[in-house]
Chains A and B, each alone.
Chain A
């Protein structure tokens, strides 16, 4: 192997190393972007271990709808 090809081999390795670093940085940036996007899109739910927040068990509308039946029941039982 001549001196020229030795230099070429050094240059080849240097460029290969730099390309590998660039690819690594690019992939890391991609991972960070997806991570950030996930956190931003899910908001506080991203940190909950028991899944997304559930809506309240009974809505006011539902309570109002159930009220006449409850009234009738307590009148029947004489507990009103």
Chain B
């Protein structure tokens, strides 16, 4: 047992050990909820059927795997998180959970989630989950994040895997449709995070993270956002071409894709100054709605198809 009487107030929280809520916060619950949602969409949209109990186990394993990668990210990035306003109260920089504890917590949950998904559902899904965790922690957090402004472009793949894992849980394979779902999130990630980085540029600069606005400036970032949004809008319609999405999905994807592009152009035309921040916040907020709505409509269409047989 730690000798609590011998430590200062700063170390008090760490010596007491984190509360259960602090460990839950290590899992990045908000990111986890998006992962669960997109993985569920992949599972429901996939051809074939999975026993509901196995589907639930698969979702839990995917969620825990995503959470574990979040914990490992917080372990690795504790020094950066401590500097940034948005992240300085996280459990590790806040001193409520020790760095070693976060590491062990993340590693144990990573292993358990991959083994559970592989052993109870199938090993294609288990392998994809292992790859996702490794990609997020090693490729994005350890390798790219502090080295290149393209960090979020390549690292974004980690966040794009969940629907593919959900799909693989049902079919045991990877198909064109699941790759399309992957590509939609992959292409959505840069404009989403660059919009955030535009109004948080000082934070990233202080932490030494070479986000695009820090390295190439706001003007170039806005230009890149327009390019990626122009690629994303038609890509959002790809599920209609393959039959994965129906006409309702097509109409929603067309409308929201157009709006996404319009907001990106508005941001581009806003130039520097307070109008730019407002436009960036607007695009950031809308980008969350865009992804949620696209996957929600796809999910609803397939639920209706299942019900109608």
Q: A residues touching B (Cβ–Cβ < 8 Å)?
A: 1-2, 5, 8-9, 11-12, 15-16, 18-19, 22, 30, 33-34, 36-37, 40-41
Complex CA distance for A9 and B15, rounded to whole angstroms: 10
**Given A5-B5, A33-B60, A12-B17 contact (CB < 8 Å):** yes
Task: Assess whether A37 is in contact with B53, with CB atoms less than 8 Å apart.
Answer: yes
User: What are 14 inter-chain pairs, A to B, with CB distance below 8 A?
Assistant: A1-B5, A8-B12, A8-B16, A15-B17, A18-B20, A19-B18, A22-B20, A22-B23, A30-B112, A34-B120, A37-B54, A40-B51, A40-B54, A41-B54
**Given A5-B4, A16-B17, A19-B17, A33-B120 contact (CB < 8 Å):** yes
Complex CA distance for A22 and B19, rounded to whole angstroms: 10
**B32: CB under 8 A from chain A?**
no
| Contact bitstring B1-23, A, C-beta under 8 A = 1, else 0 | 11011000000100111111001
**B57: CB under 8 A from chain A?**
yes
Complex CA distance for A18 and B21, rounded to whole angstroms: 10
**B116: CB under 8 A from chain A?**
yes
Complex CA distance for A5 and B7, rounded to whole angstroms: 10
Summarize A's interface: helix, strand, loop or mixed: helix
Which 7 pairs show the lowest CB-CB distances between chains A and B? A37-B120, A5-B5, A8-B4, A22-B20, A40-B51, A33-B57, A36-B53
Beyond the given A8-B4, A33-B116, A40-B53, could you list 15 further A-B residue pairs with CB under 8 A, ordered by the A residue number?
A5-B5, A8-B12, A12-B1, A12-B4, A16-B17, A18-B20, A19-B17, A19-B18, A30-B112, A33-B57, A33-B120, A34-B120, A37-B121, A40-B51, A41-B120
Q: B residues touching A (Cβ–Cβ < 8 Å)?
A: 1-2, 4-5, 12, 15-20, 23, 51, 53-54, 57, 60, 112, 116, 119-121
Task: Assess whether A9 is in contact with B54, with CB atoms less than 8 Å apart.
Answer: no
Complex CA distance for A36 and B4, rounded to whole angstroms: 43
Nearest B residue to A34, CB-CB: B120
Complex CA distance for A34 and B5, rounded to whole angstroms: 43
Report A-chain residues with C-beta under 8 Å of the C-beta of B121: 37
| Chain B: minimal CB distance from A43 (Å) | 10
Complex CA distance for A2 and B6, rounded to whole angstroms: 11
| Chain B: minimal CB distance from A7 (Å) | 10
Report A-chain residues with C-beta under 8 Å of the C-beta of B23: 19, 22
Which of A1, A2, A15, A36 lies in contact with B19, CB distance below 8 A? Answer: A15
| Chain A: minimal CB distance from B105 (Å) | 11
Complex CA distance for A19 and B232, rounded to whole angstroms: 44
Task: Assess whether B19 is in contact with A30, with CB atoms less than 8 Å apart.
Answer: no
Report B-chain residues with C-beta under 8 Å of the C-beta of A33: 57, 60, 116, 120
Task: Assess whether B112 is in contact with A15, with CB atoms less than 8 Å apart.
Answer: no
